[in-house]
Structure 1
């Protein structure tokens, strides 16, 4: 069964939202930052493995929070949906990107880990 968590579900959601809003993709970096700069807000600093387990176990809670926020916006009743998708490769070089028919319409970026433009 294990020990009961020292932080509440509300604190878990707050931590996850703060992590996303502040742009931390790495849990380890986020937890180091939170321990150093946000100790007053989050008195119990979890270890990375515990934080990860709580995040995964809290998925239904996050889905509920996202749904509640979504229904509170005008987009919920709109015909258009906002989606985030996987990047699609569009060219392997800068000249290819510049002469594409999607110039000015699509957002282009470079992924250094894949050495490709998307």
Structure 2
């Protein structure tokens, strides 16, 4: 229903309209941007289309980041954000994320979780230059950044 360019525009609109809840975005989108896209797809079709466009969206984001004035400065900022991948023991045992995921401590929420850490590396302006997923058991974030 959406062309690849339109799917990217809808994804950018989600960010600009600050709709953080992925599950409710297409319900809200009909009211917010429905006049621009009268035939929005279902959630499953939209998610599949965005997954297929992942490499193109990453390339576009990297192209934009390289044109930011602070790209050539040596200063980079990095942080690790926990991503919960499963809650039950059955999910942990059946998951194919075993190479990346593990048990870790989310210090901001004072809770253990099973999942991975998203490690974005940004310029001083906040443009993402690289990212990787790391096992939360690994404590040295610098080593994780070198492997990302």
TM score, norm. by length of structure 1:
0.63
Q: Which has the higher strand share?
A: 2
- 2:70 pairs with 1:75: yes
Computing the radius of gyration from Cα coordinates, the structure with the larger value is 1
Q: Which residue does 1:35 correspond to in 2?
A: 30
Structure 2: distance between partners of 1:32 and 1:91: 30
1:63 aligns with 2:58: yes
Instruction: Count matched residues.
Output: 87
After superposition, the Cα gap between the structure-2 partners of 1:37 and 1:62, relative to the gap in structure 1 and judged at 3 Å, is same
Structure 2 portions without partners, runs of 5+: 83-105, 111-148
User: Normalising by structure 2, what TM-score?
Assistant: 0.52
Give the alignment of 1:3-22 within 5 angstroms. Answer: 6-22=1-17
Higher relative contact order (CA 8 A, sep 6+): 2
Q: Measure the CA separation in 2 of the matches of 1:53 and 1:72.
A: 29
Q: Which residue of 2 aligns with 1:89?
A: 107
Deviation at 1:13, TM superposition (A): 1.1
Q: What value does the CA root-mean-square deviation take over the aligned residues?
A: 2.0
Kindly indicate whether the alpha-carbon contact (under 8 Å) linking 1:70 and 1:76 is maintained by their aligned counterparts in 2.
Answer: yes
